[in-house]
Amino acid sequence: MKEKSINACRHCGKKKMRSDILALRDAQDAKSIISASQKIMQKVIDLPVYQKSKVVMFYLSTGAEVRTDEMIEHALKSGKEVVVPIILDIKKALMAAAKISKIYDASQLVFGIRQPCLERAQIVEKADIDLVFVPAIAFDKRGFRLGYGKGFYDRWLKNFKGAAIGLAYDFQIVNEIHNDIFDIAVSEVVTDK
């Protein structure tokens, strides 16, 4: 895949940036996605904050996103409690964290994303979560993210006291993303490079 640099500034629209980076991300072949995701997983496993964390929140990957299923399996086998996002209110862009004991606990689709069944979900309080891995279309060098535009993670991350770390392919890192007052930055981003 031919890589190209995509940078955002105040003059560049988020919509165009989303489109450009999604085109790059979605153009990857399965072998590239698996290889990059395995490199990212190894870096995650080596993170001291991950090793110390007892309760970890992962997003459930979809499409060409950095794959998280193997990371979730590793965390569960390591004795960590794993939680995943669950949508509480689509209109208000509200989500919570629900405990899973195996990947298949999250088989309901909302916006094309797997999540546990809301009626049976065991909600875990934000204050009890040590670490959250955050998805994005892009991250800038300050840790601000370009998401899908709904604001679920920015609302959820508000007042979160644990560590928030982004997962991305190297080409998803840009110089700057125009951020608004309500945008929340992650402390670091783990990439394949």
Say which CATH number the domain at 52 has: 3.40.50.10420
Distance CA 82, CA 182 (A): 27
Q: Is the pLDDT of residue 9 over 80?
A: no
**42: three-class secondary structure by DSSP:** helix
Task: Tell me, yes or no, whether 24 lies in a domain.
Answer: yes
Residue-level pLDDT at 175: 86
Task: Tell me, yes or no, whether 40 lies in a domain.
Answer: yes
Number of domains in the chain: 1
Task: Tell me, yes or no, whether 7 lies in a domain.
Answer: no
What is the reported pTM?
Answer: 0.85
Residue-level pLDDT at 52: 96
Task: Tell me, yes or no, whether 106 lies in a domain.
Answer: yes
Average pLDDT estimate for 159-174: 92
Contact 137, 146 (CB under 8 A): yes
Question: Which residue, among 34, 3, 58, 28, has the nearest Cα to 192 in the 3D structure?
Answer: 34
Task: Tell me, yes or no, whether 76 lies in a domain.
Answer: yes
Domain boundaries, position 58: 14-190
- pLDDT > 70 in the chain, percent: 89
Q: Is the pLDDT of residue 6 over 70?
A: no
Residue-level pLDDT at 10: 43
Task: Tell me, yes or no, whether 58 lies in a domain.
Answer: yes
Distance CA 144, CA 52 (A): 25
Distance CA 87, CA 21 (A): 25
Distance CA 99, CA 122 (A): 6
